[in-house]
Structure 1
Amino acid sequence: MSGGALVVGHDGTEGARAALDEAMRLAKDMGGADIHLVFSFAAPRIGGELHDLDEAIAERGQRMLEHGVHHARSAGVSVQTHCRRDDSAEGLVAVAEEVDARYIIVGSYGERPLKSVLVGATPTRLLHLSERPVLVVRTPD
């Protein structure tokens, strides 16, 4: 295997860091695949006064992405960032389509199946939305 792109959901959580670490290992195994870190959030649709909230979330996302970039580049891995205002799963799928990703990689806290269905956990939604392989990395205990 050589090259390709890996899309990684990254929100600064422990699960996101575990997903990025796995993506970095996989990128090296693939002969230098590019990593695309994605922070995606659904903007509230209630009204204009929430514009400041949207901006604050986007700024926090950019900071989280910068931490991920620093971590990946310190290991010699090529990385790009994407901050999207879409539902998290839909944003990941959209970026994966744009960059023709081989895999989408996300972290998981090991939610029970019923809870993930009820609250719409991103890994579960990705399995339904994505036509690309989805790798779910369990957060270390």
Structure 2
Amino acid sequence: MGDVVLGYDGSRSTRMALDVAIEQARAFGDRLVVVFADEPPGRSAGEEFREHRRALDEIGEQALADAAERAKASGVEAETLLVPERPAVALEATARSHATRLIVVGTYGEGPFKSAILGSTPHKLLHFSEVPVLCVPSTGENP
């Protein structure tokens, strides 16, 4: 038994990834670790930054609560983490700090050039993660 780590922000692609992560966790008797990670742009000081951080935390807490409820309804134990860090960094760190068997992320269908330029989370994880990464495609979605 290990953990399945899921990057989750409540978007359509991550909701689809949640379904796959729940299936994986249930099939292997794993625990699901759901991670909402985001880092506000700019400096980490000042009222504007604090307001942005509070807004992100509120969005993250709601997304995590929804994911935990879906996991529980499916009979899967879930832990939720709100991580104030870039998503790829947060998922990799979470995987290292847990007994992680698999990282699951949703994709928006970006091409390799756009992913390389913009630095998509799945693209980064596929290149740097020491844990297997399962990318769940989403068709026709804009972030």
- What range describes the TM-score normalised by the shorter chain of this pair? over 0.9
Q: Confirm or deny: 8 A CA contact 2:92 2:125 kept in the other structure.
A: yes
Name the % identity. Answer: 37
Q: Confirm or deny: 8 A CA contact 1:103 1:134 kept in the other structure.
A: yes
Which residue of structure 1 aligns with residue 4 of structure 2? 6
Q: 1 CA distance for matches of 2:30 and 2:98?
A: 12
Q: 1 CA distance for matches of 2:69 and 2:21?
A: 14
Alignment of 1:1-141 (within 5 A): 3-30=1-28, 32-46=29-43, 47-49=45-47, 50-140=49-139
Q: 2 CA distance for matches of 1:140 and 1:69?
A: 24
Structure 2 length-normalised TM: 0.92
Q: Confirm or deny: 8 A CA contact 1:27 1:34 kept in the other structure.
A: yes
SS at the partner of 1:102?
strand
**1:43, CA displacement in angstroms?**
3.1
The number of aligned residues is 138
Q: 2 CA distance for matches of 1:96 and 1:107?
A: 16
The unaligned stretches of length 5 or more in structure 1 are none
Q: Structure 1 pair 114/11, CA: closer, same or farther in 2 (3 Å)?
A: same
The unaligned stretches of length 5 or more in structure 2 are none
Give RMSD over aligned pairs.
1.2
Q: 2 CA distance for matches of 1:140 and 1:33?
A: 28
Q: 2 CA distance for matches of 1:43 and 1:128?
A: 24
